[in-house]
Structure 1
Amino acid sequence: MVEASPWWAPHVHADRRPRLMARNRIAAAIREWFAARDFIEVGTAALQVSPGNETHLSAFATQAVGPDGSRQPLYLHTSPEFACKKLLAAGETRIFSFGPVYRNRERGPLHHPEFTMIEWYLAGETYDRLMEDCAAMLALAAERAGAARFAFRGREADPFAAPERLTVAEAFQRHAGIDLLATVSPDGATDRDGLHAQLVAAGLRTAPDDGWTDLFSRVMVERVEPELGQGRATVLCEYPIGEAALARPSPADARVAERFELYCCGVELANAFGELTDPVEQRARFAADMDEKERIYGERYPIDEDFLKALAIMPQASGIALGFDRLVMLATGAHRIDDVIWTPVAGADS
């Protein structure tokens, strides 16, 4: 078996370089876009006391060693979200962060342990405004890459077309024949057995120890996500309240939250929230997610107490995280995320 040439081999780099140059053009255009709208670019520390408290996010752990030899546990951030929200509490109103984040257990065509995230936050704005921003980002990336269409694994989409807006409940009904909200109560409680029965009727596999969240994820992965963002991008919104750890409840329906995800060519590009600002509720959600994480992975992360204190004085705001590398992939027709990263992490080509 012939060993593949490394990314730094001159002939490999020559093949990769056009996409990397397109990456730079897209990055420059996005920064210009934010500057034209009076956003401030902020730098956030990668080392944090907590990497976040979502069940399925895995972090890289390290230690800070003091002059006296004392050791403090720290983590590489999985997102700049906590730091950005502290800046909102401090008085900033229009900010964006553009830089690397780190997630463990994530390697593959669409996943890399270190990748670039764009996050932006608007005080006093609803999350509907962020949907408009997403449409602008898609068109901007296409223009700078010279792409008329986005494509990935046989799926195509027009980056200049207005995205479709679809609720999660509508998507479950359309693509799986499942009445999702019939299994969610106004207080957020879920009916595991009711959802399980619907999955069985829809011909989806289940396991005896599947919880409601496991069943929800299976429908999303197997039936819903592959159908999203075909022909044009999809804004998938109104997630069940239990699937939106940092989003506020919808004023129209307490069973769902102000959360949306942006999909294009079946690829998830962005995750947005109308931000939750109740520290008591946020603590309860973090604790529940960490209990679930411990059940599944045998570990839990600390809660950033400073974040909860900041949340108590943070203004109403909306925020979004967009995977920049994936956006570049679609704009340049790349098959793997490694193809649009200047210096991929060793061993990340599995």
Structure 2
Amino acid sequence: MTEINPAPSPWWTPDVHADRRPFLMARNRIQAALRGFFATNEFIEVDTATLQVSPGNEAHLHAFRTEAIGHSGATTPLYLHTSPEFACKKLLTAGERRIACFAHVYRNRERGPLHHPEFTMVEWYRAGETYEVLMRDCADILALAALTVGTTKLAYRGQGCDPFVEPERLTVAEAFKRHAEIDLLASIGDGGETDRDRLAEDMRRNGFRVAADDTWADLFSRVLVERVEPCLGFGRATILCEYPVSEAALARPAPHDRRVAERFELYACGVELANAFGELTDAAEQRRRFELEMAEKQRVYGEAYPIDEDFLSALHAMPEASGIALGFDRLVMLATGASRIDQVIWAPVAETAP
């Protein structure tokens, strides 16, 4: 007779909740500490709407769709946002200078130890300040989270990271060379155009699988996921910066090299924690990038999301700014040593059938 393992107890059963409660109380303390950090640095905390006409326009982000029903019975499609970014940038256009937001955000097709369909994103924006300032913010926040829960290291799956050591700064090109022996910039033209065959040739030479229908973006992602990301943020955090412009749809080109953009991601213990931009404020260029992203989404997934025309209108008048999105639940995980994201979420979303 085959033994059937019983389903795990729901999160709301007293014994399961008792196991989770220390993580949840640590979550509350870290959130309070971050609110204090933002207040001390003269940020205004804002609260944005979850329902939006567009959930965002990145090819590989998947949204939850709903609809609004008017008095006449007519319906209008709406989406649960994947980030409060568009609304926050409209507030910068309105005149706010430093804003922070703890937002519940929603991403479909995502579930696992580090992914949950509903999670908390903390985003903050600095008008008139560079994205290098956000790098300093990240270092301060890692240390603050550790101090708040009384730990000397961030941890995930047995690996550690010292939150009190200055993060390493590594460009994407340097990371590709170090961890995959690939000259990434050799496959990017002066205007940001990409050479798929050149990158494919380098990858084959270094033992990567390359399929005939792989795009340059597919190949870039494969190297990043298989060779680069697993090596980041051990011992100390890593700030991976200067992404190719084609991989930074909302970031402005770097002034010293227009092949790359003012985008960085923060990693600790091999976990991506945050994604930051020197914000693009050219509305025409932003529209072009959104259209390319949605064409790719249509090609790969057979669907696309509308563009928020109101956002593009606001972008015309938005000041120069930098902004960042940090996965708050993941930060709590690393500070507390939790192994799964649902351990640090007060009321996890029920599992769906496979």
What is the CA–CA distance in structure 2 between the aligned matches of 1:270 and 1:236, rounded to whole Å?
10
Q: Once the 2 structures are TM-superposed, how far is the Cα of residue 144 of structure 1 from its aligned partner? A: 1.1
Superposition TM-score, scaled by structure 1 size: 0.99
Q: Which amino acid aligns with 1:87?
A: L
Give unpaired runs (5+ residues) of structure 2: none
Summarize the alignment of residues 52-63 of structure 1 with structure 2, pairs less than 5 Å apart: 52-63=56-67
The corresponding residue for 1:156 is 160
User: Do the aligned residues in 2 keep the contact of 1:108 with 1:348 (CA within 8 Å)?
Assistant: no
Task: Please say if 1:288 is aligned against 2:301.
Answer: no
Map 1:120-269 onto structure 2 (within 5 A). 120-269=124-273
What corresponds to 1:36 in structure 2?
40
The whole-number CA distance in structure 2 between the counterparts of 1:304 and 1:298 is 20
Residue in 1 that maps onto 2:68: 64
CA distance in 2, matches of 1:309, 1:200: 44
Q: CA RMSD in A?
A: 1.0
Deviates more, 1:340-349 or 1:139-148: 340-349
Structure 2 Cα separation of the partners of residues 275 and 107 of structure 1 = 29
Cα displacement string for residues 28-63 of structure 1 (whole angstroms, at most 9, x for unaligned residues): 000011011110000100000000000100000000
Distance 2:82 2:284 in 1: 23
The alpha-carbon deviation at position 348 of structure 1 amounts to 6.5
Aligned 1:5-16 pairs, distance under 5 A: 5-16=9-20
Task: Determine if the alignment matches structure 1 residue 26 to structure 2 residue 30.
Answer: yes
Instruction: Confirm or deny that 1:118 pairs with 2:122.
Output: yes
Question: What residue ranges of structure 1 are gaps of 5+ in the alignment?
Answer: none
1:333 alignment counterpart = 337
CA distance in 1 between counterparts of 2:199 and 2:113 reads: 31
CA deviation string 1:227-253 (max 9, x = no partner)? 000100000000000000000000000
Give secondary structure in 1 for the equivalent of 2:12. Answer: coil
Deviation at 1:188, TM superposition (A): 1.2
Write out the 4+ residue segments of structure 1 that deviate beyond 2 Å after TM superposition. none
Q: Are 1:317 and 2:321 counterparts?
A: yes
- 1:208 CA drift (Å): 1.4
- TM-score, length basis structure 2: 0.98
- What is the CA–CA distance in structure 2 between the aligned matches of 1:199 and 1:109, rounded to whole Å? 30
Give, as a single letter, the amino acid of the residue that structure 1 aligns with 2:343.
D
> Shift of residue 154 of structure 1?
2.8
1:46 and 1:99 mapped to 2: Cα distance? 8
1:92 aligns with 2:96: yes
Note if contact 1:107-1:349 (Cα within 8 Å) is conserved in structure 2.
no
Q: Name the structure 2 match of 1:3.
A: 7
In structure 2, distance between residues paired with 1:177 and 1:38: 44
Tell me how far 1:349 sits from its aligned partner. 10
Letter in structure 2 aligned against 1:163: P
Paired residues in the alignment total 350
Displacement of 1:153 in angstroms is 1.9
Contact 1:108 1:349 in 2 (8 A): no
User: What CA distance in whole angstroms lies between the structure 2 residues aligned with 1:308 and 1:276?
Assistant: 11
- What secondary structure is seen at the aligned counterpart in 2 of 1:256? strand
3-state SS of 1:187 partner: coil
AA in 1 matched with 2:15: H
Question: Quick one: distance in 1 between partners of 2:340 and 2:182?
Answer: 33
In the superposition, relative to structure 1, how do residues 229 and 349 fare at CA in structure 2: closer, same or farther (>3 Å)?
farther
CA distance in structure 2 between the partners assigned to 1:204 and 1:13 by the alignment: 44
Q: Which amino acid aligns with 1:204?
A: F
The letter of the residue matching 2:187 is T
Given residue 52 of structure 1, which amino acid in structure 2 is its aligned partner?
G
- Whole-angstrom distance in 2 between the partners of 1:148 and 1:243: 34
Partner of 1:83: 87
CA drift at 1:216: 0.3
Paired residue secondary structure (2:261): coil
CA distance in 2, matches of 1:46, 1:286: 21
Q: Does the aligned pair in 2 maintain the 1:40–1:95 contact within 8 Å?
A: yes
Partner Cα distance (1:217, 1:163) in 2? 23
**Counterparts of 1:26 and 1:338, CA distance in 2:** 17
SS of 1:255 mapped into structure 2: strand
